[in-house]
Structure 1
Amino acid sequence: MLSMSELAMNPNRKVTTVCYGKKQKWDDREEAQAYFLEAMMNSDGAEYDRYSGIYIQLQNGLSYCTDEDDEEDE
């Protein structure tokens, strides 16, 4: 099993984000992180939760990050 630090060091710099239904492809993970960090710092409430969720996914090395809830099946 991969440790968290290995997951966070995804060698693929490209990433796809989906926020408020808008899909965006980034060539640079760090650029996407900077965008969502700034958005997170300039928002609050539900908007903050969306941006911070994507930012955390980016930090964890995921290549597809979304603000969509997986609880729809319940």
Structure 2
Amino acid sequence: MLSIPELAMPKSNTVTTVYNGIREVWTDYEQAKAYYLELMMTTDGEERDRAECVYIQLLHGLDECSDE
């Protein structure tokens, strides 16, 4: 048995996003969240919906986030 529960262990700091068919690997999770929050706030229509979809997945801590 592990001495530290798995949930208490730090998760990987990398995340992969797929936005408009472009796959990007981020080494800083917080930087990815900040980018998609700003993108969501500065666009409208379908682009905003796509950015919001990725941002919400980032908030939930997924390792791979997509706009689909």
Q: Same fold (TM over 0.5)?
A: yes
CA distance in 2, matches of 1:39, 1:11: 25
In the alignment, structure 1 residue 20 sits paired with structure 2 residue 20: yes
Structure 1 length as normaliser, TM-score? 0.77
Partner of 2:30: 30
Structure in which a larger fraction of residues adopt helix:
1
For the pair shown, the structure with the greater C-alpha radius of gyration is 2
Give RMSD over aligned pairs: 1.3
Partner of 1:71: none
TM superposition outliers: structure 1 runs of 4+ over 4 Å: none
In the alignment, structure 1 residue 11 sits paired with structure 2 residue 7: no
Q: 2:17 aligns to what SS in structure 1? A: strand
CA distance in 2, matches of 1:29, 1:52: 16
- Unpaired runs of at least 5, structure 2: 1-6
